[in-house]
Chain A
Amino acid sequence: ETGVTQTPRHLVMGMTNKKSLKCEQHLGHNAMYWYKQSAKKPLELMFVYSLEERVENNSVPSRFSPECPNSSHLFLHLHTLQPEDSALYLCASSQGTGTVTGELFFGEGSRLTVL
């Protein structure tokens, strides 16, 4: 195990639902990330938190709302999503965003399907 766990692993939701993805890291890292991975697309960075403060928000629609209550937990709250939001959502952690080498440790991902 890499020490980064995500739940749920699979989620199916309608466009009017509200759901949340959860990520937990047991590596003592101080930075956590949400990435979106779609078919034939690169890993798209969505949000970065460093020391529980958001430091990056790559023009993500407001229907995605992150929350980082502490350095070990990260949530992605979802509401009124669109079918094109269906993708694999990967959480990752690293030791610091301000260093040149900051290996990302990924979770297994949450496969989201929006009907």
Chain B
Amino acid sequence: GENVEQHPSTLSVQEGDSAVIKCTYSDSASNYFPWYKQELGKRPQLIIDIRSNVGEKKDQRIAVTLNKTAKHFSLHITETQPEDSAVYFCAARIYSGNTPLVFGKGTRLSVIA
């Protein structure tokens, strides 16, 4: 089955700096890669996703890049703000009938004002 590795487990950045979180996946059949954000005491929520037919997707200050050859994808947050502080989870999914998402272990991002 699919296995998703996520690094780093914790990340601290100064407000205004960029943050990068990286994930690798094992199954080359995976073709959907979402990122979820979970603020302290809150539920995880989808913030951006990418499908394997594109290499990069942007939404304001966040972007995701995908390298299918190397089987890794990354989340980039620019001009970080204190409200970006949260745990971020990457996930991957194999394209088949009833295959749910497989999540990484999460990255706790702290943005220091």
Task: Determine if chain A interacts with chain B.
Answer: yes
Whether A42 and B106, one on each chain, are in contact in the complex, defined by CB atoms closer than 8 angstroms, is yes
Find chain A residues with CB under 8 A from B43 CB.
2, 4, 90, 106-109
A98 in the interface (beta carbon within 8 A): yes
B31 in the interface (beta carbon within 8 A): yes
Mostly helix, strand, loop or mixed at chain A's interface?
A: loop
| CB interface residues, A 1-57, toward B, < 8 Å | 2, 4, 33, 40-43, 45, 48, 50, 55-56
A27 to B98, CA, bound (A): 20
A97 in the interface (beta carbon within 8 A): yes
Whether A100 and B100, one on each chain, are in contact in the complex, defined by CB atoms closer than 8 angstroms, is no
Whether B93 and A100, one on each chain, are in contact in the complex, defined by CB atoms closer than 8 angstroms, is yes
Whether B44 and A106, one on each chain, are in contact in the complex, defined by CB atoms closer than 8 angstroms, is yes
Find chain A residues with CB under 8 A from B61 CB.
none
A52 to B59, CA, bound (A): 35
Given contacts A33-B100, A42-B103, A42-B104, contact A100 B31 (CB under 8 A): yes
Interface size on A, residues (CB 8 A): 24
A101 in the interface (beta carbon within 8 A): yes
B73 in the interface (beta carbon within 8 A): no
Distance in angstroms from A29 CB to nearest chain B CB is 14
| CB interface residues, B 31-84, toward A, < 8 Å | 31-32, 34, 36, 42-46, 49, 51
A48 to B101, CA, bound (A): 11
A104 in the interface (beta carbon within 8 A): yes
Given contacts A100-B51, A101-B32, contact A50 B101 (CB under 8 A): no
CB-CB nearest in chain B for A106: B43
Whether B100 and A42, one on each chain, are in contact in the complex, defined by CB atoms closer than 8 angstroms, is no
In the complex, given contacts A4-B43, A43-B106, A98-B98, what are 8 additional A-B residue pairs having Cβ atoms less than 8 angstroms apart? A2-B43, A2-B45, A43-B103, A100-B31, A100-B95, A102-B101, A104-B101, A106-B45
